[in-house]
A and B are shown apart, each in its own frame.
Chain A
């Protein structure tokens, strides 16, 4: 399938790459289906979470564990139910990246990680009980 996006360009994807977000992402509840564009590697630790329902909705994500030591949380039972798993091994964790004009001040939202059950291709944005900041500096 092909998708013309507003910012990431033209993307080709397979049906089995679509991640279903039953509740959408906070503030973007109409986008229930996303694909991950790219792959996180050490040299380039970013991917795009592109909505396939709304071409203009896209987020830059990273793997928080690459940037934050001891980032650790428990998912609420309700979230695990939505993700249809109780095995943490099935879950990939990402955080959204905000890059302001002064890009060195980029931040990641540690309070609300994007968690994806890669086995069943279900995702959600959690809001942690743990006391993590919404804006954590990406660079020290």
Chain B
């Protein structure tokens, strides 16, 4: 992993059309601005884990009977 140190207001360029700018640092958090082409998907990493959970949750076909059984056990 490439590690760089940046201050608020400074940027990192990735490739020709991706810019990541540190906007603000406060209270242990960093506000980041991202300039990327529209076809580049930008996600908070936590979103991926939630998408996985949602897919798993929607795949199960849980009937009332099954849920009732779950409570009995």
Chain A residues proximal to chain B, CB less than 8 Å: 6-7, 25-28, 43-44, 46, 56-60, 96-99, 103-104, 106, 109, 111-112, 125, 127, 134-135
Contact partners of A7 in chain B: CB under 8 A: 61-63
Between-chain CB contacts (< 8 Å), 13 pairs: A7-B61, A7-B63, A59-B57, A97-B57, A103-B66, A103-B70, A109-B50, A109-B57, A111-B46, A112-B46, A112-B50, A134-B49, A134-B52
A113 vs chain B, min Cβ distance (A): 10
Interface size of B by Cβ–Cβ distance < 8 Å?
25
Chain B residues proximal to chain A, CB less than 8 Å: 44, 46-47, 49-58, 60-64, 66-71, 73
Query: Which label, helix, strand, loop or mixed, suits the secondary structure of the B interface?
Result: helix
Query: How many inter-chain contacts with C-beta < 8 Å in the A-B complex?
Result: 72
- Nearest residue (CB) in A for B49 is A134
B64 vs chain A, min Cβ distance (A): 8
A28 contacts B44, C-beta separation under 8 Å: no
B53 contacts A96, C-beta separation under 8 Å: yes
CA–CA, A112 to B67, complex, Å?
A: 22
CA–CA, A7 to B46, complex, Å?
A: 29
CA–CA, A59 to B50, complex, Å?
A: 13
B44 contacts A127, C-beta separation under 8 Å: yes
Contact partners of B44 in chain A: CB under 8 A: 127
